[in-house]
Amino acid sequence: MKDCALDYVLDFHKIEEGGVQLAAQKLKDLGVVCLRNLAQEQTIDELVRKTQELLSKPAVLGTSGYFMKDCHKKISDGFLVGPEALQTLLDERIIDVCEGYLGESVLLQEMLIKNDLGDNELYFPMHAHTGVYRKIKTPGPFSVGIMLYTHDTTTGAFCYAPGTHLWDVPHGADPEKYPKDMQDKINQALCRISGRRGDVVLFDHRGFHGPEQPVTVPRTVFLGGFHSAKSHDYKVKSPTAVYAHDIAQLSEKQQRVLGLQSAGVLIPKEKMHTYSFHRANPRTYRLVQDFLNLSFDLTRAKFRIKRMIKEGMAKYLGYKPQRKMGAQEAE
């Protein structure tokens, strides 16, 4: 994939004022903008450290870690990484850009960590969003995607076809359903939005986009979106897990966008792709479940045998056996 030759980066270290308006203008013109140096470096360091830790082990039986719904990527709840995720991805300037661009108040759609493993497969083809969850469908933008790069990213970066957002998805989400001349235009426009660690990419969901695939390099991003509140019945798209004590640190505006005053949710948790391993892989799920049950059955059997031996010994030697509570349960 060719690199984007357009001026899509807005460096907040280099602009004195009007950054929010400039970013909204780039979104309007190109459909995509990359915000650089928004968060403090220490905040990004902490965010990346916690993200790597979370991605180091699977969330088996409640362990803090990652999920997988398929073999291509690890995912996890973005905002459970820590308060740095909330502060960085709900930065008020990001909210202002999205609200300025969409022309009304926004609500969070979702926020996840996505670690594409770089397995040289094409599993997430280029597409556009048509705003199927909208209750009021009017022409124009309805949602803005957000992606944060947790490391410098070129191979496997997010790709976008600048200008295609202005078409307003006339033939749907799949570029292959478009007339040949439009497909040619999409392919000519598609380019790689390379970025640096900590860069935040915002994009109009109506433009054609997707990750560069297939690639052999892994990539970790935070991925989510914001949609216009009114056209979505003032509901968030999906339930977003956040620790209550982290919410307390957010401004009123950040809390509003997170959904604290929302009218509910459009997709219930059980229907969300993030938590769908058991539906996507029913046999493996059953196998793992049986294995874990067997392992706990065996552990319980071991305890029972030990207890029987102890009780037998106590009876034989004539003293009363005592049952001790484990230190962890006692805390």
Ligand X SMILES: O=C(O)CCC(=O)C(=O)O
Residues 148-167 that bind ligand X (CB under 6 A): 158
Residues with Cβ within 8 Å of 166's Cβ and at least 6 positions away in sequence, in order, are: 31
Nearer to ligand X, 76 or 83 (CB): 76
155 neighbors 205 (Cβ within 8 angstroms): no
Residue burial 234-273, b: 16+ Cβ < 10 Å; e: rest: bbbbbbbebeeebeeebeeebbbbbbeebeeebbeeeebe
Specify the stretch interacting with ligand X by CB under 6 A; choose among 25-33, 209-217, 272-280, 292-300: 209-217
Residues 211-230 that bind ligand X (CB under 6 A): 211, 223
| In the complex, minimum distance from the CB of residue 24 to ligand X, in angstroms, rounded to a whole number | 20
Nearer to ligand X, 112 or 258 (CB): 112
Angle at 159 between CA 158 and CA 162, to 5 degrees: 135
Specify the stretch interacting with ligand X by CB under 6 A; choose among 39-47, 94-102, 184-192, 208-216: 208-216
Contact between 209 and ligand X per CB under 6 A: yes
Neighbour count for residue 303 (Cβ, 10 Å): 10
Contact between 237 and ligand X per CB under 6 A: no
| In the complex, minimum distance from the CB of residue 324 to ligand X, in angstroms, rounded to a whole number | 51
Contact between 44 and ligand X per CB under 6 A: no
51 neighbors 151 (Cβ within 8 angstroms): no
Nearer to ligand X, 91 or 116 (CB): 116
Residues binding ligand X: number (CB under 6 A): 6
Nearer to ligand X, 189 or 250 (CB): 189
What span, in angstroms and rounded, lies between the C-alpha atoms of 212 and 154? 9
Q: What are phi and psi of 67, to 5 degrees?
A: -110, 165
Binding site for ligand X (CB under 6 A): 145, 158, 209-211, 223
